[in-house]
Amino acid sequence: MHGLINRAIERFVRDTYGREVWGAVTRDADLDFTRFEAMLDYDAAITDRVLAALAHRLDRPLPDVLEDVGTYLVSHPKLESLRRLLRFGGPTFTEFLHSLDDLPARAALAVSDLKLPELELREHAENFYAIDCHSGAPGFGYVIVGLLRALADDYGALVLLEHKGMRNGCEIVEVRLMAAEHARGRKFDLGARTA
């Protein structure tokens, strides 16, 4: 598992629950270190142990924790650069959804060895979609649910999202766009630079 993914989990825990909880999670997961290096690769079993220890420590189901990680990736001020990368997918939430197929390639432009799961958008009817998440890491679909929930808020769209489980080797996320302009979205300027 790429270190950036593990580092994102670490930052989520530290920023949301504090250093003490992160320290307890690393002990519960039997890690002999307390910080992930962003540019290293780690055995996927380490990531699984960390996530299991986190869910246990928080006394929450793992899918809920993974969804919170996805929300954190878009909404936390420390990750404004990731939010910007995602918002380059289009000026509306609908256009963003149609750009999901390109997300792994856009991420690879920033970090060439980062392999994100392939995402495939299928449109069932007007404003009704399914996203196929082809991932070697089960549960990534829940991260996508959290990420989409936060991005819908960011765009000002009203959506209903549901993780539909596994089918044909991929996780399915159902998206129903109830209103494209439900509320005022967060300001986003393609030309703005972040500090």
Q: Which of 78, 72, 130, 136 is nearest to 104 (CA)?
A: 136
Strand order of the sheet with strand 128-134?
Answer: 118-125, 128-134, 170-179, 158-167
**pLDDT of 115:** 74
pLDDT per position as a tens digit, 153-179: 989 999 999 999 998 889 999 999 987
Asked if residues 98 and 90 have their Cβ atoms less than 8 Å apart, the reply is yes
Q: Which residue has the tokens 């549901």?
A: 162
Residues of the chain with pLDDT under 50: 194-195
Four-point Cα dihedral 29, 33, 39, 40, nearest 10: -70
State the Cα–Cα distance between residues 140 and 177, nearest whole angstrom.
21
**pLDDT of 78:** 84
State the Cα–Cα distance between residues 145 and 160, nearest whole angstrom.
10
**pLDDT of 195:** 47
Instruction: Answer whether 0.85 is exceeded by the pTM.
Output: yes
pLDDT per position as a tens digit, 35-61: 999 888 899 999 999 999 999 999 999
